[in-house]
Amino acid sequence: MQVVIHAGAAFTDQGLLLKSLRANANMLAENGISFLGPKVFRQSFMAPLAGLHAAPLDPLQHAAMRDVVPDDPAARRVILSAPGFLGERNAIIQDGQFCPLAGQRVAYLDKVFAEHEVELCVALRNPGSFIPKVLMSLHESTRQEVLDTTDLSCLSWLTMIEDIRDLAPDVRVTLWSNEDTPLIWGDILRTLAGLPANTPMQSEYALLSSLVSDIGKREILALVRQDTASADDAIRDKLADIFDTHAKLDEIEETLDLPGWSEEIVAAFSEIYEQDLARLQTMPDIRVIRP
């Protein structure tokens, strides 16, 4: 059995990925693929993950986690939607890094599901927008503690990924940039499901369509109906052109409310972020989905 943990990160797909999986439920079931929502994660996984340091590991909790794997000879893959797996909201920025508990948690689940293949799928997000979103979601006292103890300029996803690779080297890791998701939504769905690249998926263009004007929606619909003979790269280029021309700015632009957070800071983080993504693409056993 292949156990796939979709772990966010925070402020990325906002539950849309699970909605798209549900739209494809029948096709996934026919291919031996099931998926579980956040309720299963909260009920069976949150307590043992939160108590890794506090108490001896409970065999009953281990059994509850293992029980999420379908007992069906036809089942080959289960996808677990696990928001908060990398770290709860108040621990996303801690100890001078993103999600310092992530490596330990991935290693723990790898042991729990030792008889299965474990995969981790994570959407990364530009720290220039991610950091203020996280900080402004915290209680004021917690936010101030982070600001007093953390050099925000040093925050990078690389440290988190390197921790995961060091502590759980057998776990396959798939990453993508949240900023790319409108153009690679179908690729993300197929990757989570472990399906071939040419497998058609319902709602493959739903996210992109939600971010463009009505004219853009019509152009996307016409393109995907008529342009089945083109290579994937050619279709994606055309979709990117539609997005650039017809994007609804109020849907894609965010107001970052953290005092003192400027466009210059965002630009600096954006440059580092692109460098980090390029480096991640060269790391062994790391797959990065890009347009």
Q: Is the pLDDT of residue 56 over 70?
A: no
Give the residue with greater pLDDT, 76 vs 203: 76
- When pLDDT is averaged across residues 128-153 and rounded to a whole number, the result is 94
- Do residues 82 and 5 make contact, with C-beta atoms less than 8 angstroms apart? yes
**Residue 4 pLDDT level (bands cut at 50, 70, 90):** very high
Distance, in Å, from the CA atom of 27 to the CA atom of 29, rounded to the nearest integer, reads 5
**Residue 257 pLDDT level (bands cut at 50, 70, 90):** confident
Q: Is the pLDDT of residue 6 over 80?
A: yes
pLDDT at 130: 94
Q: Which amino acid is at 268?
A: A
Give the residue with greater pLDDT, 48 vs 157: 157
pLDDT at 55: 64
Can you list the alpha helix ranges (DSSP code H) found in the chain?
Answer: 16-23, 25-30, 38-44, 46-50, 59-66, 102-112, 127-136, 140-149, 157-167, 181-193, 206-210, 214-226, 232-246, 249-252, 263-281
DSSP 8-state symbol, 121: E
b/e string for 231-262 if b means 16 or more Cβ within 10 A? Answer: eeeebbebbeebbeebbeeeeeeeebebeebe
**Residue 16 pLDDT level (bands cut at 50, 70, 90):** confident
Question: In this predicted model, what pLDDT tens digit does every residue of 85-107 receive, in sequence order?
Answer: 998 889 999 989 999 999 999 99
Kindly report whether the global pTM for this prediction surpasses the value 0.85: yes
What ranges do the domains of the chain cover?
A: 2-201+255-289
Considering the domain delimited by 2-201+255-289, tell me its CATH architecture.
3-Layer(aba) Sandwich (3.40)
Residue listed under structure tokens 């709860």: 88
